[in-house]
């Protein structure tokens, strides 16, 4: 399959963020074409999908803008993983409708998981939008927009068993020109009882490796120096060539190595891994290739075996601990991060303590931590009572957060005095006199600008100090630049 490079658009990039860093904006310089404004919330896959949507819109001569007041089309790419995320979307839609009152011809559309979950409710009950488009229907955007421009409400929430968008070149909206996401698969076959993803994104299907490799090579040739392979569960990636008599098969370990071999100066990351699927083969590929980053996001969700069974995670506490041990055995300097849910149905204080003890054992570099939010339609909502009081959930979550902050600080303090290769991603948030970049373990490092280096350069940085979230250091001699 041929892979075309991104179209070149005439725009000046400006990125703004809300308090959670969730918003993507662009300001165009071409005032003759129609403009779209897009905000993305939730997981990295949603941000990646927004780049696919932008590419589709560019084919019908829409260009991005950061100025919502001049937008002809306002889109919000949504997340349904927690109630709070959906509440945020509703608030934003109310704000968008205030814009629409001033400019009635403006179209408003909901994309992604929340569109898939609520479907026509947005059009029929809430009446906040003109378009409702699920994650597998982005190819239909041109016809839906055309219909909406003629006054028809548009909806397509069909879930596909084949769609991977392999032939669409994403328009890198929120890119710093150095790092990029590559979606390698869509959907999820794991029926975790608390999760809406299988219902909003459908069944797993893997993108063909040729288009993935072509996209990665194209990014490298255009100056990008890091790619993150994305999937709800990347370790279950599997592809078989239907036209190959020898039945060529590619699993995630094979794919990871193929991407790493594109060029030694192209860093490779991946997310997310399900503990039951990450294999020794993947770990050995990581250990054998310096440009595959030593970082694994390995959600545990709970440290208690009974709760894990209720969550349908398909592993128990001992199994997860053994997997963590195996990672550190094969990749001693690997950083592991995680997800935790506090206050799942029927969780006792003792079971909550089991989560804290797993955190202590795993020594996560960082974690995403939440209290349980019942989602309509999930197995947990159908089978279990959400019986943990909100105050208890919040208190347990605060204990998890405090422990993680303590572990993260100690984790980072151990890096003081060490030297890491860092890929410069841009200016630090606090000062234009400082660079920011990440090391292989996905830790953000801030350091003063010295020497003739710029965005996209690899530099060696010696760590001088640390907080729970950031390392601080300075560039040391004997630098190498990427080819």
As a whole number of angstroms, the distance between CA 47 and CA 39 comes to 9
pLDDT digits (tens, 9 = 90+) for 413-428: 999 999 999 999 999 9
Task: Name the phi and psi angles at 426, rounded to 5.
Answer: 160, -170
Q: Kindly tell me the number of DSSP H helices and DSSP E strands found in the chain.
A: 14, 23
Question: What average pLDDT does the segment 462-468 reach?
Answer: 98
Going by C-alpha positions, the residue among 302, 313, 410, 312 that lies closest to residue 363 is 410
Class of domain 175-293 as given by CATH = alpha beta
pLDDT of residue 182 exceeding 70, the answer is: yes
What are the respective helix, strand and coil percentages of the chain, to the nearest 5? 35, 25, 45
Query: 11-156 and 175-293 share one CATH topology?
Result: no
The predicted-structure confidence for 208-264, as pLDDT tens digits, reads as follows 999 999 999 999 999 999 999 999 999 999 999 877 667 789 999 999 999 999 999
Q: Is the pLDDT score of 480 beyond 60?
A: no
CA–CA distance, 368 with 397 (Å, rounded to integer): 11
Q: For residue 110, how far is the Cα from the chain centroid?
A: 19
* The model's pTM: 0.88
Q: Is the pLDDT of residue 69 over 60?
A: yes
Q: What is the largest CA-CA distance in the chain?
A: 64
**How far apart are the C-alpha atoms of 191 and 205, rounded to whole Å?**
15
* Residue owning tokens 């349908």: 312
Closest by Cα among 200, 201, 204, 171 to 64? 171
Q: Which fold has domain 306-414?
A: Transcription Regulator spoIIAA (3.30.750)
**Residue 49 near residue 38 (C-beta atoms within 8 A):** no
Q: Where are the domains of the chain?
A: 11-156, 175-293, 306-414, 419-475
Superfamily covering domain 419-475: Nucleic acid-binding proteins (2.40.50.140)
**Measured distance CA(49)–CA(61) in Å, rounded:** 19
First vs last Cα of the chain: how many Å apart? 27
Cα–Cα distance measured from residue 452 to residue 471, given in angstroms and rounded to the nearest whole number: 22
CATH of segment(s) 11-156: 3.40.50.12160
418/136 Cα distance (integer angstroms): 45
d(CA 35, CA 58): 10
**What is the rounded average pLDDT of the residues 40-49?**
90
Contact 441, 334 (CB under 8 A): yes
Is the pLDDT confidence value at 15 over 50?
A: no
CB-based contact 466:415 (threshold 8 Å): yes
pLDDT band at 31 (very low <50, low <70, confident <90, very high): low
Q: What mean pLDDT comes out for the span 82-104?
A: 90
Q: What integer pLDDT is reported at residue 126 of this predicted model? A: 62
Whole-number pLDDT of residue 16: 38
CA dihedral 42, 269, 213, 6 (to 10 degrees): 50
- Average pLDDT taken over every residue of the chain: 90
pLDDT computed for residue 83 by the predictor: 85
Q: Which long-range contacts (CB under 8 A, 24 or more apart) does 94-103 make?
A: 94/128, 96/68, 96/128, 97/128, 99/68, 99/69, 99/71, 99/74, 100/74, 102/69, 103/69
What was the pLDDT predicted at 123?
82
């Amino acid at each position: 399959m041929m892979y075309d490079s991104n179209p070149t658009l005439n725009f000046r990039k400006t990125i703004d963020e809300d308090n959670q860093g969730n918003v993507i904006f662009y300001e165009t310089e071409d005032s003759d074409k129609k403009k779209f404004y897009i905000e993305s919330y939730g997981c990295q896959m949603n941000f990646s999908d927004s780049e696919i949507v932008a590419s589709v819109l560019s084919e019908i001569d829409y260009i991005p803008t950061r100025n919502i007041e001049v937008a002809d089309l306002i889109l919000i790419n949504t997340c349904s993983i927690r109630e709070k995320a959906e509440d945020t979307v509703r608030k934003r839609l109310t704000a968008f409708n205030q814009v629409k009152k001033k400019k009635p011809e403006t179209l408003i559309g909901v994309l992604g998981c929340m569109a898939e979950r609520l479907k026509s409710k947005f059009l029929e009950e809430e009446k906040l939008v003109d378009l409702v488009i699920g994650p597998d229907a982005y190819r239909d955007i041109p016809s839906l927009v055309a219909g909406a421009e003629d006054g028809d409400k548009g909806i397509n929430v069909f879930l596909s068993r084949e769609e991977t968008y392999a032939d669409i070149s994403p328009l890198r909206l929120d890119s710093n020109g150095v790092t990029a996401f590559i979606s390698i698969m869509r959907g999820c076959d794991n029926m975790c009882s608390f999760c809406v993803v299988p219902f909003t994104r459908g069944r797993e299907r893997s993108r063909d490796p040729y288009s993935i490799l072509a996209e990665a090579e194209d990014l490298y040739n255009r100056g990008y120096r890091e790619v993150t392979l994305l999937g709800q569960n990347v370790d279950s990636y599997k592809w078989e060539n239907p036209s190959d008599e020898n039945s060529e098969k590619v699993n995630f370990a094979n794919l990871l190595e193929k991407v790493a071999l594109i060029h030694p100066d192209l860093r490779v990351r991946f997310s997310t891994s399900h503990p039951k699927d990450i294999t020794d083969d993947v770990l050995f590929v990581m250990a054998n290739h310096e440009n595959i980053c030593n970082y694994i996001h390995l959600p545990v969700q709970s440290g208690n075996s009974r709760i894990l069974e209720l969550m349908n995670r398909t592993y128990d506490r001992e199994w997860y601990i053994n997997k963590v041990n195996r990672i550190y055995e094969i990749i001693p300097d690997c950083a592991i991060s995680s997800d935790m849910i506090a206050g799942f149905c029927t969780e006792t204080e003792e079971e909550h303590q089991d989560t804290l003890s797993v955190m202590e054992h795993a020594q996560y570099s960082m974690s995403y931590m939440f209290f349980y939010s019942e989602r309509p339609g999930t197995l947990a909502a159908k089978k279990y009572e959400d019986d943990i009081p909100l105050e208890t959930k919040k208190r347990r979550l605060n204990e998890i957060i405090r422990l993680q902050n303590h572990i993260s600080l100690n984790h980072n303090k151990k890096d003081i005095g060490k030297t890491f290769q860092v890929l410069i991603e841009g200016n630090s948030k606090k000062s234009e006199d400082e660079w920011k970049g990440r090391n292989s373990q996905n830790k953000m490092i801030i350091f003063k600008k010295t020497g003739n280096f710029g965005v996209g350069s690899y530099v060696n940085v010696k760590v001088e100090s640390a907080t729970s979230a950031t390392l601080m250091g300075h560039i040391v001699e004997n630098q190498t630049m990427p080819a």
